[in-house]
Amino acid sequence: MNIREWSPYDLIQQALEVRERAYAPYSGYKVGAALLATSGKIYTGCNVENAVYPLTLCAERVAIVKAVSEGDRHFIAIAVTTENGGAPCGSCRQVLREFGEQIVVLIADRTGNYRQTTVAALLPDSFGAEDLEFPTSFLARRSATEDI
């Protein structure tokens, strides 16, 4: 799928819809995400809070895990919606980075007003697999099968 073939508005709309299903009894801060894979499929996710706060699942990571569990690992864009247009947290930025610095990130508020950026802009000078000391054969095998 070509990046010109998708609509930011459609992706944001799906993120707004799934945001309503968020489980946020502690913070009340509902987040929705819609992740567009290169296959053309869209994976949605919402935040799921937990009384043990570190176990809370962010909407962005829920969408990514759903995509990977369904076989998609290459992404074009993600829309993230919150009440006030809050940006993805650091953990979500790093998880997105695992799948590509070029991923477009649409950050929208509850009315659909949005700004557009990229994972690279949200996480400058980031850390990735290429920074790990893997044997050359592993990195070659990974790039041949993953095409990241």
Q: Residue 99's domain is classified under what CATH number? A: 3.40.140.10
Per-residue pLDDT tens for 75-97?
999 999 999 999 999 999 999 99
Helix (H, G, I), strand (E, B) or coil at 23: strand
Q: Are strands 114-118 and 104-108 parallel, antiparallel or unpaired?
A: antiparallel
Distance CA 71, CA 92 (A): 20
Counting the structural domains of the chain, the total is 1
Q: Average pLDDT for residues 15-38, to the nearest whole number?
A: 98
| Long-range contacts from 11-14, C-beta under 8 angstroms, 24+ separation | 11/36, 11/42, 11/77, 11/78, 11/79, 11/106, 12/79, 12/81, 12/106, 12/108, 12/112, 12/114, 13/112, 14/42, 14/44, 14/79
Please classify residue 100 by burial: count the beta carbons closer than 10 Å to its beta carbon, then call 0-12 exposed, 13-18 middle and 19+ buried.
middle
Indicate the length of the chain as a whole number: 148
pLDDT at 1: 47
Q: Average pLDDT for residues 34-48, to the nearest whole number?
A: 97
The residue from 5, 17, 60, 133 that is catalytic is 60
Distance CA 85, CA 103 (A): 18
Our answer to whether residue 20 is catalytic in this structure is no
Among 85, 78, 74, smallest CA distance to 106 is for 78
Check residues 59 and 6 and name the one with the higher pLDDT: 59
Whole-number percent of the chain with pLDDT over 90 = 82
Domain housing 118: 3-146
Distance CA 115, CA 106 (A): 6
Report pTM.
0.88
Place of tokens 């006030």: 84
